[in-house]
């Protein structure tokens, strides 16, 4: 399932890039992130808790920065599973920075999330609903953090 969107930031592209690439920036914006630990400069380990009504899951996964093309493009790949074995989780995220002017950058992202297992069987409808709200919150968090950082 594809979650995508874009927004613009008032900041120099290099500054934005440096911040984005700091380990944990992206992961810590994921709603429900409980833990983000750096494994090496390209890999970190996250635990994210999510719930829909009475169902709650805790995904433990590794994020690896697969392709990095500074200061414009980064592709991260996440793999993991629910601690309670309710599902396996894979995710490819691409973030692109596009300079509109010296002081303005368009941030676009594209995340392809895939969850297989009991969770997915329960209802694609609900998964999607959740993904939508998680996606929106993620953007909000990212914008907030960037704004805070760039201010």
Partner 1 sequence: MICDFEYFSPKTLKEALGLLDQYKGDYKIIAGGQSLLIMMRQGLIKPRYLIDIKGLSELDYIKSDPQKGLRIGSLITHRAIEKSPVIKESFGILSEMEHKLASIQTRNWGSIGGNLCHGDPAGDPAPVLITLNGTLTLTSLKGERRILVEDFFLDYFETALEPGEMLTEIQIPPLPPHTGVAYTKFNVIENDMAIVGVGVSITLASINGHCKEVRIALANASPRPMRAKQAEEILRGKKITDDLLSQAGEIASQEADPISDIHASEEYRRELLKVLVRRVGEEALLRAKKS
Partner 2 sequence: MNRKYSVIGKSHIRVDGYAKVTGQAKYTFDMVLPNMLYGKILRSPHPHARILNIDTSRAERKIGVKAVVTGKDTLGRKNGAWRRFPELCDEEILCREKVRYIGDPVAAVAAIDEEIAEEALDLIEVEYEILPAVFDPLEAMKEGAPKIHDHAERNINVTRRIEWGDVSEAFKDCDYVIEDQFHTSSQAHLCMETHCAVAHFGYDGKLTVWTSTQSNYYIQVLLADMLGLREGDVRVIKPPTGGGFGSKFELDSAQFCAALLSQKLRQPVKIVLTREEEFIATKRKTPMYYYVKVGAKKDGTLLAKEVRVVTEGGAYTAMGATALYLTGFYSSLPYRWPNYRYDGYRVYTNTAPTSALRGFGAPQAYFAGESMIDMLAEAMKMDPLDLRRKNAITPNYEVPGQAYIQSCGLKECYDAIEKHIKERGKLPPNRGIGIGNYGFMSGGIFNWFNTPYAFSAAMVKINIDGKVDLFTGACDTGQGSDTTLAMICAEELGVHLEDIRVHAEDTDLGPADLGSWGSRETLMNGNAVKMAAADAKRQLLEFACAKMKPNVVYDLDIKDHKIYMVDRPERYVSYFEIVQEAIRAKEGQTIIGRGHYTPHRKGMVSPAFGFGVQAVEVEVDPETGKVKLIEIVTAHDCGQVINSVAVIGQVEGATMLAAGGGFCEDQPIDNGKILNPSIGDYKVLRSLDMPKTVGIEVDTYEPEGPFGAKEAGEGLTSPTAGAMANAVYRAVGVRIKDLPITPEKVLRALKEKEKLKEKK
Of 117, 137, 139, 143, the one binding partner 2 by CB under 8 A? 117
Of 124, 129, 132, 136, the one binding partner 2 by CB under 8 A? 124
Q: Give the one entry of partner 2, partner 1, none that residue 54 binds, where binding means its C-beta sits below a cut-off of 5 to 8 angstroms depending on kind.
A: partner 1
Give the Cα separation of 67 and 75 in Å (integer): 5
* DSSP 3-state of 121: helix
* DSSP 3-state of 30: coil
Cβ proximity to partner 1, 8 vs 110, nearer residue: 110
What is the per-residue binding string for partner 1 in 17-36, x denoting contact by CB under 8 A?
A: --------------------
What is the per-residue binding string for partner 1 in 92-131, x denoting contact by CB under 8 A?
A: --------------------------xx-xx-xxx-xxx-
**Could you say whether residue 132 binds partner 2 (CB under 8 A)?**
no
- What angle (nearest 5°) sits at the alpha carbon of residue 58, between those of residues 55 and 64? 140
Q: Report whether 57 contacts 48 (CB < 8 A).
A: no
Residue 18 CB, nearest approach to partner 2 (Å) = 29
Q: Look at residues 34, 31, 62, 45 and name the one whose alpha carbon lies nearest to residue 130.
A: 31
* DSSP 3-state of 112: strand
**Is cis: bond before 16, omega within 30 of 0?**
no
Of 6, 66, 85, 147, the one binding partner 2 by CB under 8 A? 85
| Binding-site ranges for partner 2 (CB under 8 A) | 1, 79, 81, 85, 88, 90, 112, 114, 116-117, 120-121, 123-125
């Amino acid at each position: 399932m594809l979650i995508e969107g874009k927004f613009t930031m008032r900041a120099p592209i290099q500054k934005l890039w440096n911040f984005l690439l700091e380990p944990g920036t992206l992961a810590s914006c994921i709603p429900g992130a409980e833990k983000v630990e750096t494994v090496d400069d390209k890999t970190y380990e996250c635990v994210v808790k999510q719930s829909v009504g009475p169902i709650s899951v805790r995904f433990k996964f590794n994020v690896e920065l697969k392709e990095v093309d500074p200061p414009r493009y980064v592709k991260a790949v996440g793999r993991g599973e629910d601690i309670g074995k309710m599902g396996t989780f894979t995710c490819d995220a691409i973030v692109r920075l596009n300079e509109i002017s010296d002081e303005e950058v368009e941030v676009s992202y594209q995340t392809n999330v895939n969850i297989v297992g009991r969770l997915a069987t329960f209802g694609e409808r609900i998964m999607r609903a959740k993904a939508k709200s998680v996606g929106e919150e993620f953007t909000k968090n990212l914008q907030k953090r960037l704004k805070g950082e760039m201010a």
